[in-house]
A and B are shown apart, each in its own frame.
Chain A
Amino acid sequence: MKVLSIALNTFRENLRDKLLYNLLIFALLMIGSSILISKLTLGDFDRLMIDIGLASINFFGVLIAIFIGIGLVSKEIDKKTIYTIVSKPVARYQFLLGKYLGLTMTLFVNTTVMVIGLVLVLSARNIPVDMLLFKAVALIFVEFMVITAVAMLFSTFTSTTLSAIFTLAVFVIGHLTPDLKTFGEKMDEVGRMMMDGLYYVLPNLERFNLKGQVIHHLEIANADLALIILYGLTYTAFVLFTAGVIFQRRDFR
């Protein structure tokens, strides 16, 4: 229950502070681009529309996950609001989990609204919407969960600016991890071990990208989908656990 009230409080903070602006920008971008593209494109209008729509959902979600995620804990410490929470009978991991769930809730609401927007625009243009689109969105959401956990991990031990840089780096490299492996194969023994290490430690974010499949109508097996989701959740749990261990030892001064 304590975790839930901290989560709801975080959700309320997000709602009162930043979320609505983001939604407004997204909606404008969606509507604007659909009108523009319909005037510029001859064929493949459907594909572009879906591609831009999913990419926007992904982009805006990642922005929120990183830039609110990095402040989740460090802002509480900087503003000393954490003093009144941790001095109550609340375990530190409960605080951390509550903050994480709060932002996940925000992202969920945000993603839902954006998907509704996308579906509305698509149906207004008579573009068929199939199940695959929603599967792609589900994986995008799992990616948000991973990124949020990573952002929060950094924010438990370093400053906001550094957390932002590190998380962005993880996000970019996370989409290129297969290249790390290929790159390592061309290096000597030590180089290959390092690249392999990075490949396994960093999240393989490209696994959560189904945009190609959606556009080309390539169905994904449910077992594969479940496996990818399981991978994302396990990775998230591991990162949160690490964040918890670091946070537990920290002095708030």
Chain B
Amino acid sequence: MADSDFVVQTEKLCKTFRVGFWGKKVTAVDLLSLEVRRGEVFGFLGPNGAGKTTTLKMLMGLIYPTSGTASIFGHQIGSPDAKGKLGFLPESPYFYDYLTGGEFLRFYGHLFNLWGAALEKRVDELLDTVGMTHAKDLQLRKFSKGMLQRVGIAQALINDPELVVLDEPMSGLDPIGRKEVRDLILRLRESGKTVMFSSHILHDAELLCDRVAMIMKGKLVACGHVSELIAGGTTNEVEMVIDRLLPEALEQISSLASKVVLQGERVMVVLTSQQDVDLALDVIRSAKAKLVALTPHKASLEDLFIREAKGAPPAVEARVA
């Protein structure tokens, strides 16, 4: 893959903070190397305090890496060229609440040297995109959290960026708000933009992302296509629900199963291999029992998350946001 296909590249990125009176060192991001490719939705996952926000802030030029390098569109992070091509929505954003929706977006437009009719057109377009046309003349202090999030996304898009970086865009929103943000991210991808977002809500990432990176205690623990990562973690578990199973047959199946639950006439068993499933089916047929349901257990990102968390390297000494 050519270098130009990479939108974001980080190489052994590290950030160490000094905290407390004695300046104790705390590693927030540790040797992080990853790439985000053009046109994909990239999920940056990890539990709270894993170093997601710190990494994104380094990419935005808000904090400086202790060591390592990173580039956006081949430009060094923090440079005007890099910043010119991206849009950023911080985590639980606070904005100038004395401004109206329109003034707010105009202000950010000015920072990209957008003025006059062109800016006015862009502001109207964006308010329409995020469904906030009605709030153009309303002060931000009267906005709900969902409205703030939407107008925040609008400010990130003011320069029609090629890369949109969203820090926890779904946190604190109700289910409707979350769906709206999800739809917006998909629309951005359709229009050819690259989206990178951080989240600790894995379900959202599973629905949206082409690829994800998982970070724990500052270290990258997994990175790749969602389907590949999940496949690596499958146990091929199959759940069977059976009716009218005779005691002898039940005994045979129980010996194969990893879990058996009896509910009156009904039995639920969990089997862990295809061979066991075949044997169990044979028993069911010969005993003339009734198979009610057969459900393969799909591994989810959550399983992977928990598995990685259990095997994660020793904890850094304190949590750094």
Measured between beta carbons, the chain A residues less than 8 angstroms from B156 are: 84
Q: Is A42 part of the contact surface with B, judged by Cβ < 8 Å?
A: no
Q: Find residues 136-152 in chain A having any chain B CB closer than 8 Å to their own CB.
A: none
Task: Give the residues from 220 to 253 in chain A that come closer than 8 angstroms, CB to CB, to chain B.
Answer: 249, 251-253
Query: What chain A residues lie within 8 Å of B117 (beta carbons)?
Result: none
- Tell me whether A89 and B110 are in contact (CB under 8 A): no
Also in contact, A88 and B54, with CB within 8 A (given A17-B98, A81-B95, A251-B64)? no
Q: How far is the CA of A5 from the CA of B86 in the complex (A)?
A: 20
Beta-carbon contacts of B86-120 to A below 8 Å, as 1s and 0s? 10111001111011000100011011110000000
Residues of A within 8 A of B112 (CB): 88-89
> With A and B bound together, what is the CA distance between A16 and B95 in angstroms?
15
Query: Given the complex, which residues of A lie within 8 Å of B89, measured CB to CB?
Result: 84
B54 touches A2 (CB 8 A): no
Instruction: Establish whether residues B96 and A87, one from each chain, have CB atoms under 8 Å apart when the complex forms.
Output: no
- In the assembled complex, which residues on chain A have CB atoms less than 8 Å from the CB atom of B90? 80, 83-84, 87
A68 to B17 CA separation, bound complex (whole angstroms): 30
Complex Cα gap A88–B17 (Å):
24
Interface assignment of B63: CB less than 8 Å from any CB of chain A: yes
Q: Which size class do B's interface residues fall under?
A: 20 to 34
Which residues of the other chain, B, contact A88 by a CB distance below 8 angstroms? Answer: 83, 108, 111-112, 159
Pick the contact of B155: A2, A16, A79, A84 (CB < 8 A).
A84
- The A interface, classified by DSSP as helix, strand, loop or mixed, is helix
Cβ of A125 under 8 Å from chain B: no
Question: Is residue B84 contacting chain A, with contact meaning CB distance below 8 A?
Answer: yes
* Distance A251 CA – B78 CA, assembled complex (angstroms): 12
A8 to chain B, nearest CB (A): 8
**A89–B83 contact, CB under 8 A?**
yes
What residue of chain A has the Cβ atom nearest to residue B139's Cβ?
A16
The contact of A90 among B99, B111, B321, by CB within 8 Å, is B111
Judge whether B108 and A89 touch: CB under 8 Å: no
Within 8 A of B (CB), among A62-97: 79-91
Residues on B with C-beta less than 8 A from A90 are 83, 111
* Smallest Cβ-Cβ distance to B80: which chain A residue: A89
Residue of B nearest to A4 (CB): B110
Instruction: Give the contacting residue for B98; candidates A1, A16, A252; CB below 8 A.
Output: A16
Q: Are A252's CB and B62's CB within 8 A?
A: yes
